[in-house]
């Protein structure tokens, strides 16, 4: 029964809220195609429309042995996905003293090719510099690293491309 309770949607959000005494609502986005960026879009829109002043965006990934086995069958040369988390704090512009502002965010969904999710290959381009992502956590993690590395850089133009769609994210320094 303990393992089941950890698999319920919003469980991770509930644990974090309880531990850190965070009040408010929580929303879980479950999708193979860009779940972090879909949650980022929802948080950004909620802040832009005045529904929220700040929002914590988390991508929590855990993988069952069954999923890892299916991935290995679909992509024998690929590496195992490691569990982990990405976390970004969004704040309204008048609350934010530093960091980047989201100028624009577009998510384009392509055909749902189930096998492409298991092969998982995303191309991440930040300010013209391209890298390959081979794990569901790595695209957002790469962008977080670029944000820290470009601390003095006034803008970041980001694009994530995959067989199942693309994400365009433009950030500017506050």
Residue 158: HSE in the Cβ half-sphere, 13 Å Cα cutoff: 28
- Each residue's pLDDT tens digit, 72-113: 888 888 788 889 999 999 988 776 667 888 999 999 987 766
Average pLDDT of the residues in 12-26: 82
Q: Three-state SS for 81?
A: coil
Average pLDDT of the residues in 49-58: 90
Average pLDDT of the residues in 146-171: 87
Residues 63 and 57 sit within 8 Å (Cβ to Cβ): no
Residue 110 to residue 56: CA distance in whole angstroms: 27
pTM of the predicted structure, to 2 decimals: 0.86
pLDDT at 76: 86
- What's 42's DSSP letter? H
Residues linked to residue 84 through DSSP beta bridges, in sequence order: 61
CB atoms within 10 A of CB 33: 21
Which tokens go with 106? 């577009």
- What's 79's DSSP letter? P
pLDDT at 14: 82
Interhelix angle 138-149/35-48, rounded to 10 degrees, is: 60
pLDDT at 113: 67
Torsions phi, psi for 120 (to 5 deg): 35, 95
Average pLDDT of the residues in 29-51: 92
Residue 82 to residue 62: CA distance in whole angstroms: 8
Q: Three-state SS for 105?
A: strand
């Amino acid at each position: 029964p303990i393992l089941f309770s950890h698999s319920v949607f919003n469980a991770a959000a509930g644990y974090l809220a309880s531990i850190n005494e965070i009040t408010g609502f929580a929303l879980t986005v479950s999708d193979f195609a860009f779940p972090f960026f879909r949650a980022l879009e929802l948080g950004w829109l909620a802040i832009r429309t005045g529904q929220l002043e700040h929002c914590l965006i988390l991508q929590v990934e855990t993988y069952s042995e069954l999923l890892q086995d299916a991935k290995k069958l679909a992509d024998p040369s690929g590496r195992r996905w490691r569990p982990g988390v990405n976390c970004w704090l969004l704040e309204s512009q008048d609350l934010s003293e530093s960091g980047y502002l989201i100028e624009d965010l577009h998510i384009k969904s392509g055909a749902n090719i189930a096998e492409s999710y298991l092969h998982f290959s995303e191309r991440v381009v930040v300010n013209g510099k391209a890298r390959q992502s081979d794990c569901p956590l790595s695209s957002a993690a790469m962008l977080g690293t670029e944000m820290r590395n470009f601390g003095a850089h006034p803008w970041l133009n980001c694009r994530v491309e995959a067989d199942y769609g693309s994400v365009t994210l433009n950030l500017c320094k506050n």
